[in-house]
Every structure is written in C-alpha cells, then in structure tokens.
Structure 1
Amino acid sequence: MKSDRKSKLHIHLLFWILYYILEVYLDFYWSRYQFPNFQWHIRLQNTLILELGYLLVKIPLAYSLLYIYEKVHTKLFFKYLLSIFIVVIAVLGHRFFTHYIIYPYIYGVTEMLDGKQPSGYINGLVAFNSFMDLIFMVGLVFGIEITRQKSLLKDQISQLKSEKLDQELTMLKAQINPHFLFNTLNNIYGMALKKADETPDVILQLSKVMRYNIYEAAEKNISIEKDIENIKDFIQIQKIRHHHLSISLHEDIDNSSQKISPLILIQFIENAFKHGISESLGDAFIHINIQLKNGILTYFIENSKEERSHEHSTKIGLKNIRRQLELLYPNHRLTVENKSDRYIVQLIIDFNDKFSS
C-alpha cells in the first residue's frame, strides 16, 4: 500500500511537470500574436507566472473530481450534481484570475474580445474557452489515474494467480510424498520382521530420498542432475524390494545443470511401480530412458502391467501429473499408451520455450 501511494505520487508529480511545460509552450507561442510588442523574455516570464496561477485552479479541480469519483459513495445523480457545481466554481475562478489578474497585472492591458472589452469577466465565449481548458486537463488527469489503476490491478491479479498456482503445485506435490513414505515404511517394517539383511540399506536409501523431498523439492527448480540422482535412489529402494524385477535406466544428458521442477519425472516411475509391478508378474520390467539434447527433454518409460491393474487409481495419478505439467510447462507433449500387457509413457519438454518455467 505504501509503495502504491509512492508510485501514485511520482506519476502525478511527473504529469503536472510535463503538463505545465506543455501549457507554457502553448501560451508562449500564442503570446507572440496577442502581445507582439513584448520582448520574448518578458513574454516567457509572464507565461511562467500565469500558468502557475492557473495550476492553483486546475489542481484542486482535478483532485476534487477524482475524490468524488473514487471516494464519495452516494447516488450517481448527486455525484454528477456535485461535480457540475465544482466545475462551475472552477470556471468562475479561472475567468476571475484571467480577467482581473493576468491581463491588468501581468500584461498590463485590458482583456479584449473581438476588439471590444467584454461586459464583466463572465461571457459566453470566454467562459466556454475556460471550460474547455479545464475539462481537457481533467480528462488527462483521469486518463493517467485510470491507466495507473488498471496497471496496478493487472499486477495484483498476476501476483494472485502466481500465488494460487504456487499453492496448487505445493498441494499437488504434497499428495505424492506421503503415499511413497507410508508404503516404504510398511515395506521396511515387513523386512524388519523377517530380519532381512537389506533393511539397513533400504533405510539409508529412504533417508536420502526423504532428504531430497523435504529440502530439494521445496525449490521451484533444481538441476536435472539432482533430479535424476533422486530417481536412482528411489529405484534402488525398489530393487531391494523387488528381486524379480528387470529394470533399466538409460540417461543421455548434454547439460546436467538444466533446471527442472522437482518431483515431475519421478511420478511416472512411482506409477510404474505402483500399478505395473507385482509378485504375480514373473517377467515384470521397467525401462526408462532420459535424454536431454539442446534444451529438449525426451522422457520415456515402458513398464509391464497386470491383467487386472488398478485403472481408477492410475487415472488419479496421471490426472495429478497432467495438472502439474499444465501449470509448469503448458506446451509440453505427453502421450500415454495403455496396452493389454504394458504401459508406455513419453514426455517431451522444450526448455527453450518461453512459457516453460
């Protein structure tokens, strides 16, 4: 709020400086024909003074109307009535200053209209000229302020959308970690009951994965090298659990520091283990290929599948992943093939695309 007021002050101050310069230029140019006998420096001095005087009428008028427009909460008819009253007062003030001060005291002459002295300082034509001068200024002020407010509103909406997306992504990620943690702890519990020799190794690998999930995954982006290292730790845990499983991971990365949103790639592998691998499958397999060339990521996963797989929970997992990809990489390409005996997933992300986060 404080920065908004400061920004508003700077914009309006700049406007009045530029407006004053413009009015000085126009009146100085006009004075060449109205007062041809005056030297240029006298005309410039007079113009600088009279435009400062006009600002004493224009600035209160502009901000009075702005106040009515923004702050006065009443019926529209009364707002219009009050605005008209203020404009009339401003026109009278403008004419009084012009007729009784500018001409006799600044230029030392009597105001003339078509070669004749007008009857009093209120006259239809000169009053209309004053009205148009004031309304032109009011229009500029309202235009500046409305444009500023729209720009501010646009920034606020953009910030709210960004915060909403960040919150949504955080919630989507949070849906993944607990599931993996609870399943792995249950498996460790089972291994401990059997006093399996692999139990300490599984705990160590789980510790590394959870450290990644807690600290690294909190970042908006991490290096793809760290993300792949986490995938390897996750696979190592699963290998210990599934001795019958045939799993291969091939990586071809030309830029290990390429940034990527954490926990995107591993979700497909989690789904492969969750829905495609079981003791009932004698030839269970998962094949993973990760390639990054010239800023384009090609991610391929193929895994075996049970005849009676959990289709509903698989769709929920994919829905979660798809939503994250829509938010993070709107122009990604994701294809999922659900065959009778296997799942095939291919994801392509172009990090060169300006819409990629």
Structure 2
Amino acid sequence: MKSDRSSKWRIHLLFWILYYILEVYLDFYWSRYQFPDFKWPIRLQNTLILELGYLFVKIPLAYALLYVYEKVYFKGFSKYFISIFIVIAAVFGHRFLTHFIIYPHIYGVTETLDGKEVSGFLNGYVAFNSFMDLIFMVGLIFGVEITRQKNLLKQQIAQLKSEKLDQELTMLKAQINPHFLFNTLNNIYGMALKKADETPDVILQLSKIMRYNIYESSEKSISIAKDIENIKDFIQIQKIRHHQLTINFTEKIDNPSQEISPLILIQFVENAFKHGVSESLGKAFITVDIKLKNGILTYSIENSKQEKPHEHSTKIGLKNIRRQLELLYPQHTLFVEDKNNHYTITLTINFHDTISL
C-alpha cells in the first residue's frame, strides 16, 4: 500500500510538471499576439507566473473530482451534483483569477476580448473558455489516474496468479511426499519383521531421500544432477527390497547444472514401482532412460504390469504429475502407452521454451 501510494504521487507529480510546461508553451505562444508590445523575456516571466497561479485552481479541482469518484459513499445523483458544483466553483475561481488578478496586476491591462473590454468576470464566452480549459485538464488527469490504476490492477492480478501457482505447486508436492514416506516405511517395517540385514542401509537411504524431499524440494528449481541422484537413491531402496526385479537405468546428460523443478521426474519412477512390481509377476522389470541434449530432456520409463490391475488402482498420481507439468512446463509432451503387460511413459521437455522457475 505504501509503495503504491508513493508510486501514485510520483506519477502525478510528473504529470503536473509536464502539464505546466505544456500550458506555459501554449500561453507564451498566444501572448505574442495578445501583447505584441511586450518583450519576450517579460512575456515569458508573466506566462510562468500566470500558469503557476492557474495551478492553484486546477490542482484542487482535479483532486476534488478524483476524491468524489473514488469514494463509494458518493453515489448516483449526489456524485454528479457534487461534481457539477465543484466544476462551477472552479470556473468562478478561474475567472476571478484571470479578470481581477492576472490581467490588471501581471499584464497591467484590462481584460479584453476581440479588442473590446470584458465588462464582467463571468462574461459568457470567456467563462466557457475557462470551463473548456479546466475540463481539458480534468480529462488528462483522469486519463493518467485510470491508466495507473489499470496497470496496478494488472500487476496485482499477475502477483495473485504467481502466488496461486506457488500455492498449488506446494500443495501438489505435499501430496507426493507423505505417499512416498508411508510406502517406504511400510517396506522397512516388513524388512524389520523379517530381521533383514539390509534394514539399516534402507533406513540410511530413506534419511538421505527425506532430507532431499524436505530441503531441496522447497526450492523452485534444482540442478538435474541432484534430481537424478535422488532417483538413484530411491531405486537403491527398492532394489534392496525387490531382489527379483530387473532394473535398467541409463542416463546421458550433457549439462548436469540444467535447472528443473524438483520431484517431477521421480513421481514416474514411484508409479512404476507401485504398479509394475507385484507378487503375481514372474519377470518384473523397470527400465529408466534419461537423456538431456542441447536443453531438451527426453525421459522414458517402461515397466511390467499385471494384465488385470487392481480395480481401485488410482490415477490420481498421474493426474497430479500432469497438473504440475501444465503449470511449470506448458510446452511439454507426455506420451503414455498402456498395454496388457507393460506400461510406458515418455516425457519431453524443451527447457528453452519453458516458463521461468
């Protein structure tokens, strides 16, 4: 709010400076015809003083009208009635200043119109000229203020969208971490019951992964090398538990420091283990292939699956992943092949065409 107010007054101050310069230029040009006997330095001096005097009428008029139109308690007819009253009062002030102060005390002459002396300060034609001068200024200041408010609204909308995006991504990530943690703890629990020798190693691996999930995943982006390392740690845990599982992992990365949103890639691996490893599968396998070349990521995972998956096999995980990809990498492509005995996904991300993380 404070920065908005500061910005508003900076813009308005700039407006009044430019408006003053414009009016000085126009009146100085006009004065050489109205007062041909005056030297140009005198005419310039008089013009500077006269336009400064007019600002004492125009500035209160401008902000009085802005105040009326910005306050909600001025409604309907009352708003228009008050505005008309303010404009009439400003015309009176403008004419009084022109007729009784500017002409006799600055120019040292009586106000004239077409060579004839203006009898009264509210003469119809000159009053209309004052009205048009004031309305022209009001139109300019309202235009500046409306434009400023529209730009401010656009900035606020953009900020709200960004905050909403961050909140949604945080929520989506929060749905992932507990799912992974509970599954792995169940695995460790089963191994502990069997008193498996690998149990301490699995706990150590889990500690490393959870440290990554808690600290690294809070970042908007990390290096792809770190993300791949986390995938390897996850696979290592699963390897200890699933001895009969065949896992092939290949990677070709030409830029390990390439930034990527954390916890995107690992979700596909989690799904592969969740749906591709079953006691009913004799030869279960998972194949992971990651390639990054010239800023283009090609990521494919193929896993074995039951011919008749569980009826309640949820697609929430894939829906979650799709939503994150839509938010972070709108130009991505995700190909899914679901066959009777195997499941394949292929993800392509062109990092040159993605939004800034």
Smaller-chain TM-score range? over 0.9
The answer for the alignment partner of 1:167 in structure 2 is 167
| Counterparts of residues 250-261 of structure 1 (less than 5 Å) | 250-261=250-261
Deviates more, 1:58-67 or 1:23-32: 23-32
Residue identity matched to 1:205 = Q
The answer for the alignment partner of 1:205 in structure 2 is 205
Where 1:196 maps in the other structure, the secondary structure is coil
1:314: Cα distance to partner?
A: 4.0
Structure 1: tracts of 5 or more residues without a match: none
1:313: Cα distance to partner?
A: 3.6
1:192: Cα distance to partner?
A: 1.1
The answer for the alignment partner of 1:91 in structure 2 is 91
The answer for the alignment partner of 1:6 in structure 2 is 6
Residue identity matched to 1:221 = S
Deviates more, 1:307-316 or 1:34-43: 307-316
CA contact (8 A) 2:331 2:354 kept: no
After superposition, give the CA deviation of every residue in 1:326-357 in whole Å (9 maximum; x if it has no partner).
Answer: 11111111111111111110111111015353
Cα-Cα RMSD: 1.1
Report the TM-score, using the length of structure 2 for normalisation: 0.98
Q: Distance in 2 between matches of 1:263 and 1:105?
A: 78
Where 2:344 maps in the other structure, the secondary structure is strand
1:194: Cα distance to partner?
A: 1.0
The answer for the alignment partner of 1:106 in structure 2 is 106
The answer for the alignment partner of 1:116 in structure 2 is 116
| Counterparts of residues 213-232 of structure 1 (less than 5 Å) | 213-232=213-232
CA contact (8 A) 2:209 2:233 kept: yes
| Counterparts of residues 266-345 of structure 1 (less than 5 Å) | 266-310=266-310, 312-345=312-345
Where 1:344 maps in the other structure, the secondary structure is strand
Residue identity matched to 1:41 = P
The answer for the alignment partner of 1:233 in structure 2 is 233
Where 1:352 maps in the other structure, the secondary structure is helix
Q: Distance in 1 between matches of 2:169 and 2:104?
A: 72
Distance 1:49 1:311, change over 3 A: farther
After superposition, give the CA deviation of every residue in 1:33-85 in whole Å (9 maximum; x if it has no partner).
Answer: 11111111101100000000000000000000000000151331110010001
Distance 1:161 1:142, change over 3 A: same
Q: Distance in 2 between matches of 1:218 and 1:293?
A: 27
Residue identity matched to 1:193 = L
1:181: Cα distance to partner?
A: 0.8
Where 2:315 maps in the other structure, the secondary structure is helix
1:311: Cα distance to partner?
A: 6.2
1:119: Cα distance to partner?
A: 2.3
Deviates more, 1:253-262 or 1:176-185: 176-185
Residue identity matched to 2:307 = E
Q: Distance in 2 between matches of 1:142 and 1:312?
A: 61
Equivalenced residue count is 357
| Counterparts of residues 124-163 of structure 1 (less than 5 Å) | 124-163=124-163
| Counterparts of residues 234-249 of structure 1 (less than 5 Å) | 234-249=234-249
1:170: Cα distance to partner?
A: 0.7
Where 1:257 maps in the other structure, the secondary structure is coil
